[in-house]
Amino acid sequence: MTSIALNPELASISRLIIQGSMLFYSAAFLSFVFHLSRLASTKKSLRQAATKLERAGIVLLAIAAVIHGSGVVLRGIAASRVPWANMYEFSITGSFIVVVIFLIALFIKDIRLIATFVSGFTLLILGSADVVFWVNVKSLMPALQSYWLVIHVLVAVLATAFFNIAAALSIAYIFKTAKWVENSKLKFVALLKRILGLFPSIEKLESLAYRFNIIGFILWSFTLIAGAIWAERAWHRYWGWDTKEVWTFIIWTIYAGYLHANATRGWSGKRSAWLAIIGFVAILFNFTVVNLFFKGLHVYSGLK
Amino acid sequence: MPSSQQSRPSLDAPEQPINSPTLSVAGWSRWIWRQITSMRTALLLLLMLAVAAVPGSVFPQRSADPNGVTQYFDNNPQLAPVLDAIQLFDVYTSAWFSAIYILLFISLIGCVVPRTLVHAKALRSAPPAAPRLFSRMPASLKVKTTKAQSAKVAEQAQVLLKKQGYRVVRTGDAVSAERGYLRETGNLVFHLSLIGVLLAVGIGGGQSYSGQRVLVEGETFVNNLAGFDSFAPGTFFKEEQLVPFSVTLDKFEVDFDFVNQTNIGTPLDFRASVSALIPQSAQNSTLAKKTGVIRVNEPLAMPGSNIYLTGNGYAPEITIRDKKGNITYSGATAFLPQSAKYTSLGVIKVPDVEKQFGIISFFYPTVAELDTGALTSLYPAPIDPLLTMNVYVGDLGLDGGSPKNVYALDTSAMTQVAGGKSGVKGLRLQLGETVKLPGDLGTVTFDSLKRFASLDVSYNPGGFWVLVFALMALGGVTLSLLVPRRRVWVRKTETGFEVAALARGDDPILEKVVAEVAEALSGKTTKTTKSESK
Ligand code: HEM
C-alpha cells in the first residue's frame, strides 16, 4: 500500500513566505525604476546619487531571492516531492531560478541594466501564480511519479530561465534600434531614449543575448530528448505529437532558426532579435495557453 | 538581397563569387541547387516548419486523438470535411508538412556534405600563413621588446601555443596556430545526426506495432492479431513479428489516498500483476513462465515488445437469467470510467434470447445522491458500490456483420423499457443483489466486482537508434556552440613582435587571448589595440 504525507499547513506557510518575498521584489523593482529614471535625468546631482539606488535594488533582490527560495523549499517539503509538478509550482520554482541565474550572471557579466525587467517579470509571475494558479499540495498522478519529472522539468525550467534573460536583452536591443524611438519627439520617448542610452551597445546586447540563448538551446534540446525517453516509459511511444510535444518542438525549431539567423546575411541583428523574442513568447504561450486550454496528455496545471 | 552566403568571414571556404545565373539548363539547375542549399533557405524552411506544426496542436489529430476528430465532425459537420481535405486532422503526415521537412533535409544534405569534405581537408592541412596586416584582424596587438627577446619570439610562441592545444606551424619569423576544429566537427555531427534521427524514425516506425487489449482480472490474452481489441501496425510490419506469448492479469490493485485532506481520492499507485507463458522457440512447445508487475512508467519487457499499463477501471460481474432461470448472459464487463471518482459507463448486450435487449449501465463505486436526485460517486474505491441500469428492447444491430463498438449501444432501433421517460424506473443493484428486469425479460444479478487493466503491447525498434542519434546531435551541438574556434598569429617585427587572432562565430574572449599571448611572450601586461571582437 502506497501512502504519502502531505502537509497543507506548511504549504500555506510557504505561500505566505512567497507573498512576503513579493514585497521585497516590489521594493527592488521600484529601486531599479527610480535608478533608471535618475540615471536618465538631465541633472548631474541626481545621476550621481543613482548608483546607491542600484546597489540597494540588488541587495533587495538578493534578500527577496533568499525568502523566495525558502518558500520554494518549504513547498517541496509540504508536498514531500520536488516542487515543480503543477503550474503554481512551475511558476514559483521557475521564477526563483531566473532570479538566481541573473544574480550569478551579475558576477560574470555586467547585465545590471535588465534588473528592472527581471524583478518586474518575477513579480508578475509570482503575482499570477498566487492569484490564478494556487492549488494546495497534492500527490502526483502515477504518470508523473518518475525521476524523469525531476530531470526533464528541472532542465526545462533552467532553459526557460536562460531564454528569459536573453529575451530581456533582445527586447532592449529592439528598442535601442527602433526608428520610432530615434525619431519621436514625445517627452516620454525622450526619457526612454536616455534610459536606452545607458544600456550596453547594440553589439554587446546582441552577443550577450546570443550567449544566453545558446545555453538555453542546449538545455532545451536535452529537455526534448528527456521528454521523449519519459514518454516512451509512460505512454508507450517516444513521440506522439501530443500538444505539449508539438510546442516543445516548435520552440526548439524557432531557436534553431534563431541560431541560423545569426549566421545568415541580412538576418543577424534585428531579425534574429525578433526571433529570440518570438521564441520566448512561444514558451510563455506553451506554459499558459497550451497548459490551460489545449487538449492533450499533459494536463498538469493542477487546476480544474 | 544578394545571394545568400554567410555573413561572417568563413574560415573554411573562400567566399564564393556571386554568379548571376546564366540561362543554360545547367546554369539554372546549379542556381536552384545553390538556393536550396543556402543558409537563408534553411532558415526559412525551419521557420515554416515551426509554423506548420501549430495547427496540429489546435485541431484534434487522428493519430493522437481519433475520438476528438469524430467529435469535431459531429460538432462542425460543414467545416470538418473542408479541414479534412487540407489534411488538418493529419498535420504531421500531411503533404505540406512532409514537403517542408523533406526540402529541409535535402537542403541539409546539400549543405553538410560539401562542408564535411572541406572540413576533412582542413583537419589535415596546416593553419594558413599569417596575414600581411595584423591590424586588419578582429583583435591584434603590437609589443615593443628588446632585440634579444624578439629574436626568440617565434620559437617561444610555437611552444606556448602548442601547449595551449593549438595546431601550430612556424615559417621563419612567423607562427600560425589554430584550435577548435571540434567546433566544426560538432556542427557536422549535429547536422548529420539529424539525418540519422529522421531515418531511424522512418524505418523504425515502419517496423513498429502496438496492440491494445482490455483485460479483466483472471482473463488471459495471446499476443497475436486476434488477441487484441485494436492494433496499429507500421508499414513494414509482418505478423511473424509477434511472439505468441500469453498474458494473464492475476490481480489489479489501486491505492487511493484517503489520509490527506487535500488529496482525498487521488490515485497514488496502479499495479497490474501478470503472469505470462512464453514459447521458447518456434519448434518445440516448451513454455517459460514469467511473472511481473506493470505500473505506469514501468512497462514489462517481453520478447519483442514491452507491455504498458495505459488505463484501468471496474468490471462488474453480472449474470442475467431468463424467466425460466436459464443463464442468458454472464461475465465481467469492463465499464469505462467517466470521472476521477470512477463513475463508470458500461453496455450489456443480450442477443440470444426471444426478444433481444440491451442495457446501458452506470456504476458508482461510492454512491451518493445529489439534491437533484441524480446519483454521483464520492470516492473512487468501492466502499458503497451501486449499479443502475436502463433497459432497451429491439434490434441490437449485431447481425449486420459490421463490427460494433462493445462500449456503445445504438438505441435508434430500440425501445426503452426501464429508466428515462419509459415510465418504468431504472434498475438499481447493490453488490450481490438480484432484481427483476421489466416485462418478462427475466432477472439480473450483480455477482461481484472485478477490475480491468488496459494494456498496450508495443514494439518500436527505431526508438533505440533515435535516442543514439539524438544524443549524438546533443553532443555535437554542445561542442559546436561552446568550443571556440580561433586562429592566432605571432610575428617578429623590427621593434618587437605582433599578435593577431580571428575567430569563427562568437568568441567572447578573443582579445583576452591576444593579450595573454602577448603577455606570456613579453613578460609584461599589455592592452589590445582594437576592441570589438564581433
Ligand atoms: C533540420 C534542419 C536543421 C536544423 C534543426 C539545424 C539546426 C542548427 C543548429 C541548432 C545550429 C547551431 C549549432 C551549430 O552551430 O551546430 C546550426 C548551425 C548551422 N547550420 Fe543548421 N540546421 C538545420 C539545417 C541546416 C541546413 C539545411 C544548413 C545549410 C544550408 C545548415 C547550416 C548550418 C550552418 C552553416 C551552421 C553554423 C552556423 C554558425 O556558423 O554559427 N543547417 N544548425
Pair B352, B443 in one domain: yes
Q: Which of B42, B456, B505 sits opposite A260 (nearest CB)?
A: B42
Do B115 and B145 reside in the same domain of the chain? Answer: no
In three-state form (DSSP H/G/I as H, E/B as E, the rest C), the secondary structure along B307-351 is EEEEEEEEEEEEEEECCCCCEEEEEECCCEECCCCCCEEEEEEEC
Nearest-Å Rg of the Cα atoms of chain A is: 21
Q: Do B268 and A3 touch (CB under 8 A)?
A: yes
Q: Give residue B321's domain range.
A: 313-453
Answer yes or no: is the C-beta of A263 below 6 A from any ligand 1 atom: yes
Name the residue facing A6 among B201, B262, B269 (closest C-beta).
B262
Q: Where are the domains of chain A?
A: 1-140, 141-304
DSSP 8-state class, residue B141: E
Q: Is residue B8 part of a domain?
A: no
Overall domain count for chain B? 5
Q: How far apart are CA A68 and CA A92, in angstroms?
A: 8
**Helix residue spans in chain A (DSSP H):** 8-39, 44-79, 87-108, 115-128, 147-148, 154-177, 179-183, 187-198, 202-235, 243-261, 270-285, 291-293
**Rounded Cα–Cα distance for residues A104 and A215 (Å):** 15
Return the sign of the alpha-carbon dihedral for residues B154, B156, B160, B162.
positive
- Separation between Cα atoms, residue B503 and residue B488, nearest integer Å: 9
pLDDT per residue as tens, chain A (304 positions): 567 778 888 999 999 999 999 999 999 999 998 888 888 777 777 777 777 888 899 999 999 999 999 999 999 999 888 898 888 999 999 999 999 999 999 888 778 878 888 999 999 999 999 998 998 888 887 878 888 888 999 999 999 999 999 999 999 999 988 888 777 778 778 878 888 888 888 888 998 999 999 999 999 999 999 999 999 988 888 998 988 899 999 999 999 999 999 888 888 888 999 999 999 999 999 988 887 777 666 555 555 4
- What is the SS3 assignment for A289? helix
Strand duo B167-171 + B209-216: pairing: unpaired
Of B527, B528, B531, B524, whose CA–CA distance to B145 is shortest?
B524
- What count of Cα atoms within 13 Å lies in the side-chain half-sphere of residue B28? 3
User: How many angstroms separate the CA atoms of A142 and A2, rounded?
Assistant: 11
Do B168 and B189 belong to one domain?
A: no
Q: What span, in angstroms and rounded, lies between the C-alpha atoms of A142 and A140?
A: 6
- Number of Cβ pairs < 8 A linking chain A and chain B: 173
User: Do residues B54 and B168 share a domain?
Assistant: no
Residue of B nearest to A208 (CA): B508
At B450, which helix (H) or strand (E)? strand B443-459
By the 8 A CB rule, do B245 and B255 touch?
no
Instruction: Tell me, letter by letter, the H, E, C secondary structure of B280-297.
Output: CCCCCCCEEEEEEEEECC
Q: Cβ contacts of residue B517 below 8 Å, gap of 6+?
A: B157, B160, B161, B488, B490, B499
Q: What's the one-letter identity of residue A85? A: A
Query: Which amino acid, one-letter code, is at A79?
Result: A
In a domain, B116, yes or no: yes
Residue whose CA is at the smallest distance from ligand 1 atom 26: B108
Contact list in B for residue A241 (CB cut-off 8 A) is 56, 61, 63-64, 91-92
Instruction: Report DSSP state, residue A264.
Output: B
Kind and range of the H or E run holding B480: helix B462-482
The answer to whether position B439 is within a domain reads yes
DSSP letters spanning B80-93: HHHHHHTTTTSGGG
> How high is the pLDDT of residue B525?
58
- Cα dihedral: A100, A102, A104, A106 (round 10): -150
ipTM: 0.89
Cβ–Cβ below 8 Å for A218 and B474: yes
pLDDT of residue B476: 97
**Distance between CA atoms of residues A32 and A61, nearest Å:** 10
Helix axes B39-53, B95-124, angle to 10 degrees: 140
Query: How far is the first Cα of chain B from the last one, in angstroms, to the nearest whole number?
Result: 22
The CATH number for B521's domain is: 3.30.310
* Residue B196 is assigned to a structural domain of this protein: yes
DSSP-derived secondary structure letter, B152: H
Claim to verify: residue B228 and residue B319 sit in the same structural domain: no
Which of A253, A278, A295 is best to mutate for the B interface (most B CBs within 10 A)? A253
Q: What is the pTM (predicted TM-score) of this model?
A: 0.87
B2 within a domain of the structure (yes/no): no
Q: How far apart are CA B61 and CA B67, in angstroms?
A: 9
Interface of A with B in 141-180 (CB under 8 A): 141-143, 145-146
Q: Residue A170 has which C-alpha cell?
A: 533582445
- Per-window interface: B 360-419 vs A, CB < 8 A: none
A223 with A156: CB under 8 angstroms? yes
For residue A271, give the chain B residue with the closest CA: B43
- The three-class DSSP label of residue B202 is helix
First-residue to last-residue Cα distance in chain A: 27
Q: Is B7 inside a domain boundary?
A: no
Distance from CA of residue B332 to its chain's centroid?
A: 35
Q: Do A139 and B310 touch (CB under 8 A)?
A: no
Q: Which atom of ligand 1 is nearest to the CA of B39?
A: 30
Instruction: Report whether B204 contacts B463 (CB < 8 A).
Output: yes
Cα B206 to the center of its chain, rounded Å: 16
Cβ contacts of B534 on chain A, cutoff 8 Å: 203, 206-207
Looking at the structure, do residues B288 and B366 belong to the same domain, yes or no? no
CA A297/CA A16 separation, integer angstroms: 32
Enumerate residue ranges in chain B where pLDDT < 50.
1-17, 21, 528-534
Chain A residues touching B506 at Cβ < 8 A: 207, 210-211, 214, 262
Q: Is residue B527 part of a domain?
A: yes
What is the predicted pLDDT for the residue at A114? 85
Instruction: Tell me if B4 is assigned to some domain.
Output: no
CB–CB of B134/B489 below 8 Å?
Answer: yes
Nearest CA to A168 among A30, A289, A94, A273? A273
Cell matching residue B240: 511473424
Give the pairing of strands B267-279 and B287-294. antiparallel
- Specify whether the CB–CB gap between A94 and A55 falls below 8 A: no
Cα pseudo-dihedral B424, B429, B435, B437, rounded to 10: 40
